[in-house]
Structure 1
Amino acid sequence: MSSKGKILVVDDDRLVLATVSHGLAQAGYEVIDADNGDDAILLAREHRPDLALLDIRMEGKSGFDVAAYLREYCQVPFMFLSAFSDDQTARQVEALGAVAYLVKPLDIGQILPTVDAAFARLRRAEPPRAASAAAVPERPREGGDPLGDVVALAAGVLMHRYSLSRTQALERLQRQAQAENRSLPAYAERVVDAVELLAGSG
């Protein structure tokens, strides 16, 4: 059975980590887990998850630190699972652009619908596979896609053109960006501009 998507789960409470990871795996997701922020960042760089579920208060790097890294360097969308629901925490969650914010205690039955909805939104952000090769979707409005607008669009172009999964397309973009010594967003911009040029001349 193919995976519904790859999820990074981060929580310094081993019981919560095991429970959430097992529940998501049972629901058909591929799960990578970490019990601290430093390991989470290393695993995110290595495995390029489609989504991250982050605890907020942890020793060392907090969930906010991990989220900021995922957003800036990996273009991975994230949601928070936290026991804290005060106004300051809520403002930080909103400022970072989290997909969702769930307050503990939680069981997997409450988490799964939110995860499924997040993946549905991510899939909707991709260009339809039936579109012609030259067709280019409108660029999402700023803040429209948790992955990063241009990166998500460029990944969608590669997915359609080469029949890749979302993760494979993002990995391919990352490799090509590194080969040209460019940032991922800068390389993605080039891909999208090139396709728009082809579409305009067709």
Structure 2
Amino acid sequence: MQGSKGKVLVVDDDRLVLATVTHGLSQAGFEVIDADNGDDAILLAREHRPDLALLDIRMEGKTGFDVADYLRESLGTPFMFLSAFADSATVQRVRELGAVAYLVKPLDVAQIVPTVEAAVSNVRKGTVPRPSLVTSPAAPVLAPAVPPAAPRELLSDPLPLAVGVLMHRYSITRHQALERLQRLADADGRPLAMHAAALVDAAELLARHAD
């Protein structure tokens, strides 16, 4: 993509996270390829050869570690992890694989984008060695956990969250979710952003009652 800051593969089996991160990176000027499982991630990486991969760790089937191992050994693609887990075994495995960064959830897109920008910029400048060439990986960047209330800032743009909610609820694509959301907004006679915010508020209310 002409004028793109770089090509990033985002992999997460949580459709809400996937939709939010993908939207945020796209808005920041990246060309984004997304996958919700490890097998698709490997196929897409082989086809598109991204500058960087952003990987969830714990997924059904192939894990983020499996994908990272393939990227390192077969494609030489740099990768970072975005995970809710920061136990010593996980951190040790991240070090062994040679990730360029390790971000600990929960995080909002405003915190993820600068780390991705720095990593892609360094990769393009050649200042970050490809993982296959790393013999003694540097310690990963451990981003501090953010209080659960922090992602509320994302509601300044509720659309990606609302799309993610619909994708997760109905197992549909991002494009189908956006069309569905537009139809619902039109039926209610409300602006799309207003309907998206209402849907996110309703989803949060349901989640609180479920706890």
Query: Which bin holds the TM-score, normalised by the shorter protein?
Result: 0.5 to 0.7
Output the CA distance in 2 between the equivalents of 1:36 and 1:113.
25
Give the match for residue 75 of structure 1. 76
TM-score by length of 2: 0.61
Q: Is the 8 A contact 1:97 1:146 kept in 2?
A: no
1:1-202 matched pairs, under 5 angstroms: 2-125=3-126, 145-146=129-130, 148-149=132-133
Q: Secondary structure at the match of 1:4?
A: coil
* Pairwise CA RMSD: 1.6
Could you report, residue by residue, the CA deviation over 1:117-164 in whole angstroms, capped at 9, with x for unpaired residues? 1022113317xxxxxxxxxxxxxxxxx6025459xxxxxxxxxxxxxx
Output the CA distance in 2 between the equivalents of 1:120 and 1:47.
18
Output the CA distance in 1 between the equivalents of 2:96 and 2:50.
22
Aligned sequence identity (%): 72
Give the match for residue 201 of structure 2. none
Could you report, residue by residue, the CA deviation over 1:30-68 in whole angstroms, capped at 9, with x for unpaired residues? 000000000000000111111000000000000000000
Output the CA distance in 1 between the equivalents of 2:53 and 2:103.
13
Give the gaps of 5 or more residues in structure 2.
Answer: 135-211
Give the gaps of 5 or more residues in structure 1.
Answer: 127-143, 151-202
- Code of the aligned partner of 1:69: Y
Between Structure 1 and Structure 2, how many residues are aligned? 133
Higher RCO, 1 vs 2 (CA within 8 Å, ≥6 residues apart): 2
Output the CA distance in 2 between the equivalents of 1:7 and 1:53.
7
Give the 4+ runs in structure 1 shifted more than 6 A. none
Q: Is the 8 A contact 2:7 2:52 kept in 1?
A: yes
Q: Is the 8 A contact 2:99 2:131 kept in 1?
A: no
